[in-house]
Structure 1
Amino acid sequence: MANKQALNIVKMKKMKTEGVPLSMLTAYDYPSARLAEEAGIDLILVGDSLGNVVLGYDSTLPVTIDDMVYHTRSVTRAAQHTFILADMPFMTYHGSIDETLRGVRRLMQEGGAHAVKMEGGLEICSTVSALAAAGVPVMGHIGLTPQSVNMIGGYRIQGKDAKDAQRLMDEALALEAAGAFAILLELVTEEVAAAISKALSIPTIGIGAGRYCDGQVLVYHDLLRYTADYREKRFVKTYADIGSLIREGISQYVQEVKQRTFPEESHVFGADESVLESLYGAAVTKGAKS
């Protein structure tokens, strides 16, 4: 999409006002991001979920700032006309503001990200304020926060009772007041996500948060079932099963190599007779032709 122009945070807020939903997708490498941009995606998130779906970890906790910079750089090279966010990984924004700014600077200067995303509520509001004051667009992330999975007791739905619903509302309002330009709501009950979306003037992006957020995000590998051991998720819709196609394609390749049916004649390159003579000698070459 050569004529496509990347969104900015002013346009996103206008889209919320006009009721135009935002589409967001994770991507972690050049081909994935290039395909997402060509398909017309609004935002790309280089999520620390790459730890689970690309690097083979069982959580996002081992992902480092070096990992995020490396993958963000790949994505920004591919999708030069799309708004790109990068996750701040575990324990890179809970220390001093100087340490946080170093990480942000790397993601934006080295990685080329337009904005960063940070998990947490009231406890990160002062950091969000400092980053916003420094000119850094920050997307908040509340509800299920995978970096805190050991504290919240696993991957549990958030906002199932009145107390938890009020906590989420308070966190969302505080993040908006701190200067966040948008908030991601993960695994939040639909009613609570709808109430938060209505209360905020900034966009909400939902994943497993129902139908009434201002936008939706899915993980690239979930949307396309691009994995060897896919696990069904209630909040995910599969739009293409490329994992099965990849497995079938590789399996056929293996069989054809074993059966010597690949490569075929159409896949090989012939040499001039002079080359054959230099390799085998003129007599041998002529004898082979007779």
Structure 2
Amino acid sequence: MILIRRWVLLTVLSLHAHFLLAQTAFTVIPLGTKGGSDESNLSAYLVAPKGQQNFLCLDAGTVYYGLQKAVANKQIAGSNTAAVLKNNIKGYFISHGHLDHVAGLIINSPEDTAKPIYALPEVIKVLREKYFTWDSWANFTNEGEPPLLKKYSYKRLDSINEIDIEGTDMQLKAFELSHVNPQKSTAALIRHKEQYILYLGDTGADRVEQSDKLYQLWQNIAPLIDQRKLKGILIEVSFPDSQPENLLFGHLTPQLLMQELTVLSKMCKRNNALKDLPVVITHMKPKSNNEQVIKKELQQQNKPGVKLIYPQQGKALQF
């Protein structure tokens, strides 16, 4: 009888854990998915709690064109793209200052409304000194070269404190990444209640970058995976495995990603902890047959058993 009760209890706990994993907590709408050369489809992802329409924009390479596609696909309530830009995007998280992650923010700033920009101090320095200046554009922010138009307000992140995302029911914690060491990029761990989703800006592998930034990030999220609180990971794979490591420029290949996910898996206490965890592959370089090769190599090397997802511009993903 005792053995039967234990079996029933274990079965109930297993079903409960599966139910928690299957519950949808976040909506992610890709506004841009690629890494370079196609200016109409550069890194940008809207994220909001399920059923809500107040978004944080994770990077902002392409904004308006991606919103047009999302509106046309009825992924966002309303039919006026300009109104969605102004009213539904409540802020921007900028992982690093490269143009393919900020161009949409800058170009659309005259038509946008007041909102915060969340970034590391080093990233804000690039925005303040290189882009939002009167020589290169106009200073729509609250710092830097006068006159200050004060449309955007800089919110400095660190790797210690979680902060509220203004105008949303979400919180954000930042983690430093290495993107051509010693240059920094950033990962954003987004929380809604007790559920999380992780977005990584451009990043190289620790071994190639001679860094421990991914190792530190994995240490922080492994407990969330064990508790089945992490709903998914968005992470870049820019090049196929044939790309020489000295020409990666702070990016990942399928082999390097799977090596990093294996490190993460070993930090988890559960066996096969990453099995079926959604992993969205971002920032693929649109060159020749790169995408087909990357997808094939990822599938062949997917020993952690993650659920590989390839985002499409303007089509929502549920996590």
Normalising by structure 2, we get a TM-score of 0.33
Relative contact order (C-alpha < 8 Å, sep 6+): which is higher? Answer: 2
More helix by share: 1
Select the structure of larger CA radius of gyration: 1
TM-score (norm 1): 0.36
